[in-house]
């Protein structure tokens, strides 16, 4: 059975290779892209952490880029993404579940 999260994350897998700095220079597209990443993290935080490592690294690189290369309107969904994923990591750690360590350098935790 295919779930809504599977469909959304498959779509993310298709658009991530297409998003580059040139496309992100279009303000409307840039805002929608970062709102999509925020929405996916808010709706499916556990699924974000289960992404294949190359895709997760690409998403995290996009979040880092959003925090450093655009205005405050883009930084807000990026920080919200980090907040949600950090909270999910904490919940997983408290529950004793294994945590994906690819996020540790990004969040400056060990």
pLDDT in tens, the chain (110 residues): 878 878 888 888 888 888 888 999 999 999 999 999 999 999 999 889 888 888 888 999 999 999 999 999 999 999 999 999 988 888 887 877 766 666 666 656 55
Our count of domains for the chain comes to 1
* The predicted structure's pLDDT at residue 17: 86
Angstrom distance (rounded) from CA 50 to CA 18: 21
Residues in the chain: 110
**pLDDT, position 9:** 84
Structural domain harbouring 39: 4-107
């Amino acid at each position: 059975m295919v779930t809504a999260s599977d469909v959304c994350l498959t779509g993310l897998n298709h658009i991530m290779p297409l998003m580059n700095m040139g496309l992100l220079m279009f303000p409307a597209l840039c805002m929608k892209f970062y709102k999509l990443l925020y929405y996916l993290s808010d709706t499916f935080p556990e699924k974000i952490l289960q992404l294949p490592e190359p895709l997760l690294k690409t998403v995290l690189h996009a979040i880092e880029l959003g925090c450093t290369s655009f205005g405050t309107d883009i930084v807000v969904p990026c920080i919200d993404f980090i907040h949600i994923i950090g909270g999910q990591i904490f919940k997983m750690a408290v529950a004793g579940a294994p945590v994906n360590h690819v996020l540790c350098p990004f969040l400056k935790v060990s």
